[in-house]
Structure formats: C-alpha cells, structure tokens
C-alpha cells in the first residue's frame, strides 16, 4: 500500500506545512459552501486551527490536539450539529477538492481520503 511502513502519514505528506495548506484550502471551500457554511462560525480561524491540531495528530504527528483540548471525542463534539448524510458528502467533496488543490495524490492520498470517508460517515447523526 504505502512505500515505507516506518513513516507516519504525517511524515509521508510533508508534516505540518502540508496539513496547514490542506486545512486552509478546505476551510476556504467550507466557508463558501451553501450546504455547510451555516454549521460553522463566520470566522473560521479557531475552527481551522483545531482542525490543524487534530489532523496533525490523526495522521501520526505530535499529539497537539490532545495536549490542548483533551481526547478528540469526534462524534461527541459533533453531536450539537445536524450532520446528515448529505452534509457528510458535502464535507468530503470540499476535502477532496482541497486535497487536489494542494497536490496530494497517489497511494497516500487514497489512504487519507479513505480515512476521511470513514470519519465523515461516523459523524452522521441525523437523517436527511
């Protein structure tokens, strides 16, 4: 699957710099998406910072999110929001476009996107 099982996904994609570029490209889309923007604050700075910390940890980098906020508890933290299957699809679309924008491709990108698919489906808490 991936070239070097000794390296984390975080290392394979270029570390924090790549994660930051991904998060920035992603939230640029989320902030403009008619099916998602109402779920987020107008100022996405804090949300993007949390996503950066989380993705750094999620892909094997430093445990930045846990050090600052405790265990991620993703599903519990998303329960106050109506996450429908359609919104999960929109979220995934924004993430795919962000990955494409920053040039994340190949087997590592496929692996990452598969993890995003699993996570997005796990966050669904409301029917359409």
Residue 121 annotated in ligand binding: yes
Gap between the Cα atoms of 69 and 60, Å rounded: 17
List binding-site positions. 121
List binding-site positions for heme. 121
């Amino acid at each position: 699957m991936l070239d070097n099982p000794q390296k984390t996904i975080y290392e394979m994609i270029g570390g924090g710099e790549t994660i930051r570029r991904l998060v920035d490209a992603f939230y640029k889309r989320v902030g403009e998406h008619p099916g998602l923007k109402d779920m987020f604050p107008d100022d996405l700075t804090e949300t993007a910072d949390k996503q950066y910390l989380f993705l750094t940890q999620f892909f094997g980098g430093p445990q930045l999110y846990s050090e600052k906020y405790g265990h991620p508890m993703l599903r519990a933290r998303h329960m106050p929001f109506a996450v429908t299957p359609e919104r999960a699809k929109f979220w995934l679309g924004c993430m795919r476009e962000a990955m494409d924008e920053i040039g994340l491709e190949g087997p590592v990108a496929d692996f990452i996107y598969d993890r995003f698919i699993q996570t997005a489906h796990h966050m669904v808490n409301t029917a359409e």
